[in-house]
Structure 1
Amino acid sequence: MSTAGTMLVIGATGTTGSRTTARLAAAGHRVKAASRRAAPVAGAEPVAFDWHDPATHAAALDGVDRVYLIPPLGDSDPAATMLPFLRKARDAGVHRAVLLSSSAIPEGGPAVGAVHQALPGLFGQWAVLRPSWFMQNFTGAHAHARSIRDEGIIRTATGSGRVAFVDAEDIAAVAVRALTDEQAPNTDLVLTGPEALSHDDIAALITEVTGRPVAHHHLSYEQMRDRLAQQLSAEFAAMLAGMDRAIAEGAEDRVTETVQRLTGRPPGTFRALLEREMPVLPSDPAVR
């Protein structure tokens, strides 16, 4: 492991950022935990940061040489916001950047794919994490988790397509290696769990582990797009619904060995995640 300096974790209170911050702090690294409200984070220095408020950027970057990048949420063109910041980060002394992207978005693809494409030209040391869909989408504050709790329903346009969902703990473990290893990966890393599951499989596993009946409702692309557009921009809703359609067509039906290779242990299973994060719920026959 290298003698890394101070690391800036953007989105330090989010799903992967909080776990990455905790792991870095536990290993004794100096960490600036960036969030809009500079929320306290154990073992780290809280700092205010807003992608859309450049006045917060200089203080966040002060003394930092490595940065973990969570793109601005819900932004269909994050490059317009992120690239000016990344150029400022390079000029401020940051020499390694680790970007959270998605297995569904290739280099040069839409949204954060443009940031992925630009990263090697900005930093000599870099990595792009491209995780599959998060297991925590079903247990945290995500729309799937809310509809499971409120209705016992998962709604997607994924059909019978399968996804090797990945535990955010494994993403964080890889992020720490990418930030702190002597040699940066200097590549993109596709991260998956150990098995590819359909949303029908997911619903069945949640039902089995929690005792709460959960069903997967199959929507068309158009139905999914229109449903998402009630809460998101039309452009972003269409992009997300398109990702569901890609799953239905088999785009995410793959398992990689990246987590095992970089962490030295197998990735966690969805059943293990449910047993750890989802309480056993009483069966409610009124909720279907």
Structure 2
Amino acid sequence: MNAAGATLVIGATGTTGSRVAAGLIAEGHRVKAAGRSATPVEGAEAVRFDWNEPATFGEALDGVDGVYLVPPIGSSDPASVMLPFLRRARSAEVHRAVLLSSSAIPAGGPAVGQIHQALPGLFEQWAVLRPSWFMQNFTGFTPHARSIREDGAILTATGGGRVGFVDAEDIAAVAVRALTDEQAPDADLILTGPQALSYDDVAAVITEVTGRPVVHRHLTFEQLRDRWAAEIPLEFATMLAGMDRAIADGAEDRTSDTVQRLTGHPPGTFRTFAERELS
């Protein structure tokens, strides 16, 4: 990448974006921290950006040669707003793009899968990060964190299916390498932690680390879909519940060596995460 160019980090105050921005800044790279309110980020240039407001695209892309892409949250059709931005980024001579996607969604699949499919044809260098479920899904104001606090329970339709939960710290570390190494991966990267765990396993670890009893309550697909649909559009609720059903069928029962291979260090364990974030 051009050393003089900045990296635009979309969602720079979010779970991965904040960590990507911090990692880039720590290595001495110029960062434009993008968000809907242009929230100041130490060491970065804050810039207002909204996927639904094309008028914000120009300033965000000015002086940029790489971009970290976090899709609009909760959208079942991110391509409608992302593709126009990406075409504009290409015209603005952005050379490298790293997309945050999901292990559950392949190239050409629904939602962000459409962006994944388009990315190699738009940019000279690229990577698609496909992390498994975030360990951070059990912290803050996420649905799992709320249900743990309020009911001492994790509610899923995953049955005994296992997931290679991954720490957002490790996702960000891979993103920094993908954005700044001399050559981008130009690849689809599955990111996991070192172990595949069931939600029963997760509940047991949280119980041991915090000393507060936590259980995993098994819901049906329909029960979970209806719970989600009370808060979000039915189409998106159905997609999320379907991801749980896929976990029950074994879709996420895997681990990868991507974090170790790209960063040089092993991915963190769920217990280490819980001791750091939940104890």
Q: TM-score, normalised by structure 2?
A: 0.98
> Counterparts of 1:275 and 1:16 in 2: how far apart (Å)?
20
* 1:132 equivalenced with 2:124 (yes/no): no
Contact 1:156 1:219 in 2 (8 A): yes
| Contact 1:259–1:266 (Cα < 8 Å) also in 2 | yes
Please give the alpha-carbon distance, in whole angstroms, between the structure 1 residues aligned to 2:268 and 2:216: 23
Query: CA offset at residue 2 of structure 1?
Result: 7.5
In the alignment, is the contact (CA less than 8 A) between 2:10 and 2:35 conserved in 1? yes
Q: Is the 8 A contact 1:2 1:181 kept in 2?
A: no
- The superposition leaves residues 20-48 of structure 1 with CA deviations (integer Å, 9 ceiling, x where unpaired) of 00010111100000011001111111110
Q: Residue 4 of structure 1: CA displacement?
A: 6.3
Residue 39 of structure 2 corresponds to which residue in structure 1? 39
Secondary structure at the residue paired with 1:170? helix
CA distance in 1, matches of 2:85, 2:134: 27
User: How far did 1:151 drift?
Assistant: 1.5
Deviation of 1:140 after TM superposition, in Å, equals 2.5
Q: Give, in whole Å, the separation in 2 of the partners of 1:260 and 1:164.
A: 14
Cross-structure match for 2:199: 199
Pairing 1:243–2:236 present: no
Query: 1:102, 1:229 → 2: CA distance?
Result: 21
Correspondence for 1:284: none
2:2 and 2:65 in contact (8 A); partners too: no
Contact 1:98 1:129 in 2 (8 A): yes
SS state at 1:246 partner: helix
In the alignment, the residues of structure 2 paired with residue 35 and residue 193 of structure 1 have an alpha-carbon distance, to the nearest angstrom, of: 28
Cα deviation code 1:163-204 (max 9, x no counterpart): 010000000000000000001111110000000000000001
Within 2, Cα distance between the matches of 1:177 and 1:140?
27
Please tell me whether the aligned partners of residues 104 and 252 of structure 1 are also in contact (alpha carbons under 8 angstroms): yes
User: Does 1:218 pair with 2:187?
Assistant: no
Matching of residues 105-120 of structure 1 within 5 Å: 105-120=105-120
Deviations 1:150-172 (A, max 9, x none): 22110000000000100000000
Deviations 1:210-250 (A, max 9, x none): 00111111000000000000111100000000000000000
Q: For residue 26 of structure 1, what is the aligned residue in structure 2?
A: 26
Cα deviation, residue 83, structure 1: 0.2
- For residue 224 of structure 1, what is the amino acid of its counterpart? L
Q: Is residue 2:164 matched to residue 1:182? A: no
Matches within 5 A, 1:54-203: 54-203=54-203
Is the 1:2–1:180 Cα contact (8 Å) retained in structure 2? no
User: Alpha-carbon deviation of 1:139?
Assistant: 1.4
**One-letter code aligned to 1:111:** A
Cα distance in 1, alignment partners of residues 207 and 33 from structure 2 = 36
Which letter maps to 1:92? Answer: A
Alignment partner, residue 227 of structure 1: 227
Task: Give the partner amino acid of 2:140.
Answer: G
What amino acid maps onto 2:128 in structure 1? Answer: V
Change in Cα spacing, 1:2 to 1:67, as seen in structure 2 (3 Å) is same
Number of paired residues? Answer: 279
| SS class of match (1:15) | coil
